[in-house]
């Protein structure tokens, strides 16, 4: 093992403090049991959760059971080498980062490894602190990617998903609902008298009401099934898959009732509901009609005085 790891002051009994970044799910792939053991102990003491595999085939099996965030792999291994493993990982799990380790630079160079999809490259022999530094950099970059993705899909004020993400999820779910033959519903709701309250109490008070409504939506729907969104301004939406008419009405009534129990000034909710229907038009046109029907039903509820639910032209009020 000494031929692969240089001696260093950074020995196993002098492990530095844990990284401040979020612990990662690591998979260490190497046919040398001593190296697997050393890296597993070192990285575990840094706070990461580690698994190990003897070659690319075993690594693929483990990844299929449960993906890892970062894979650290040797190149020269039996059955499936590091290059083939990297190519398969980037195809099947593109969000997984890979650090490649090799002592055979004549067979693989840095450019080849990065082009294959690896995030970084270490040549044997190496110091453990070099591996830590590279792992630290990748972890920070993963954090930035997660943050940017969150900012692109989340509403800053309420932390619900935004309108852009609604369009994306509706297209995905509409295709799935059509393929698997289940119902898909959309609720669009708007705050009644919100402008007057905003003008009277100020925008900070209005923001707090929008945040409270977001919490009510999240607490009134089926966890891990229905998805709430901030549609824009004081309008919100909820995508409801795999439900029937009675269930979607119950969810809408629960949202409305839970909001009214808050007794937030003179505000109430106008709620419109629609069901997705696939026609001979394009999927995009059917989705646009799906949104338009829910939107029209919501505005019809507002025109009749608000505090109502309209679905298939049936008007319901709280307690009816």
Query: Does 149 share its domain with 168?
Result: no
Query: Does 139 share its domain with 246?
Result: no
Predicted local confidence at residue 69, as pLDDT: 94
Contacts of 320 (CB under 8 A, 6+ apart): none
Task: Confirm whether 279 is domain-assigned.
Answer: yes
Choosing from 190, 234, 244, 295, which is the catalytic residue?
234
Which of 153, 186, 202 finishes a domain? 153
Give the domain range for residue 101: 12-153
Residue 206 in contact with residue 199, Cβ under 8 Å? no
Query: Does 167 share its domain with 313?
Result: yes
Task: Confirm whether 158 is domain-assigned.
Answer: no
Which of 118, 153, 188 finishes a domain? 153
Query: In whole angstroms, what is the distance from residue 170 CA to residue 176 CA?
Result: 10
Residue 286 a catalytic site member: no
Does the structure show a pLDDT above 50 at 21? yes
Task: Confirm whether 4 is domain-assigned.
Answer: no
Task: Confirm whether 26 is domain-assigned.
Answer: yes
Contacts of 56 (CB under 8 A, 6+ apart): 29, 73, 77, 79, 80, 81, 82, 84, 85, 88
More confident: 59 or 104: 59
Q: Is the pTM of this model over 0.75?
A: no
Query: Does 143 share its domain with 45?
Result: yes
Task: Confirm whether 2 is domain-assigned.
Answer: no
What is the total count of domains within the chain?
2
Mean pLDDT over 178-207 rounds to 91
Query: Does 77 share its domain with 203?
Result: no
The bridge status of strand 70-74 relative to strand 268-275 is unpaired
CATH number at residue 270: 3.30.70.270
**pLDDT-based confidence at residue 86 (cuts at 50, 70, 90):** very high
Per-residue pLDDT tens for 93-102?
999 999 998 8
Query: Does 234 share its domain with 273?
Result: yes
Per-residue pLDDT tens for 135-165?
999 998 888 887 787 778 899 899 999 999 9
Query: Does 301 share its domain with 280?
Result: yes
Query: In whole angstroms, what is the distance from residue 186 CA to residue 255 CA?
Result: 14
Q: What is the DSSP letter of 13?
A: G
Query: Does 189 share its domain with 105?
Result: no
**pLDDT-based confidence at residue 108 (cuts at 50, 70, 90):** low
Query: In whole angstroms, what is the distance from residue 120 CA to residue 85 CA?
Result: 15
Predicted local confidence at residue 153, as pLDDT: 87
Task: Confirm whether 25 is domain-assigned.
Answer: yes
Per-residue pLDDT tens for 230-277?
998 999 999 999 999 999 999 999 999 999 998 787 899 999 999 999
Task: Confirm whether 229 is domain-assigned.
Answer: yes
Which of 93, 123, 153 finishes a domain? 153
Percent of the chain with pLDDT over 90: 66
Query: Does 204 share its domain with 85?
Result: no
């Amino acid at each position: 093992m000494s031929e692969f790891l240089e001696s260093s002051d950074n020995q196993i009994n002098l492990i530095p403090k844990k990284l401040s970044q979020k612990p990662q799910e690591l998979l260490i792939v190497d046919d040398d049991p001593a190296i697997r053991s050393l890296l597993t102990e070192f990285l575990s003491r840094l706070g990461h959760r580690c698994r190990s595999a003897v070659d690319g085939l075993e690594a693929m099996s483990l990844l299929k059971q449960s993906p890892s965030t970062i894979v650290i792999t040797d190149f020269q291994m039996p059955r499936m080498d590091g290059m083939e493993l990297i190519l398969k990982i980037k195809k099947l799990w593109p969000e997984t980062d890979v650090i490649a380790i090799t002592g055979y630079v004549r067979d693989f160079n840095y450019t080849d490894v990065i082009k294959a999809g690896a995030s970084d490259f270490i040549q044997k022999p190496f110091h453990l602190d070099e591996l830590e530094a590279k792992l630290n950099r990748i972890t920070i970059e993963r954090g930035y990617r997660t943050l940017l993705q969150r900012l692109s899909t989340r509403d800053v004020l309420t932390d619900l998903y935004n309108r852009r993400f609604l369009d994306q999820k509706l297209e995905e779910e509409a295709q799935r609902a059509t393929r698997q033959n289940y119902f898909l519903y959309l609720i669009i709701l708007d705050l009644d008298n919100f402008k007057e309250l905003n003008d009277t109490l100020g925008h900070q008070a209005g923001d707090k009401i929008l945040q409270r409504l977001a919490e009510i939506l999240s607490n009134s729907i089926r966890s891990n099934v229905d998805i709430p969104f901030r549609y824009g301004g004081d309008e919100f939406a909820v995508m409801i898959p795999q439900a029937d008419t009675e269930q979607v009405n119950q969810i809408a009534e629960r949202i409305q009732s839970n909001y009214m129990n808050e007794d937030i000034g003179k505000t109430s909710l106008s709620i419109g509901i629609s069901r997705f229907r696939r026609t001979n038009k394009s999927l995009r046109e059917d989705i646009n009609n799906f949104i338009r029907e829910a939107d029209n039903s919501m505005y019809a509820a507002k025109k009749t005085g608000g505090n109502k639910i309209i679905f298939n032209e049936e008007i319901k009020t709280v307690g009816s």
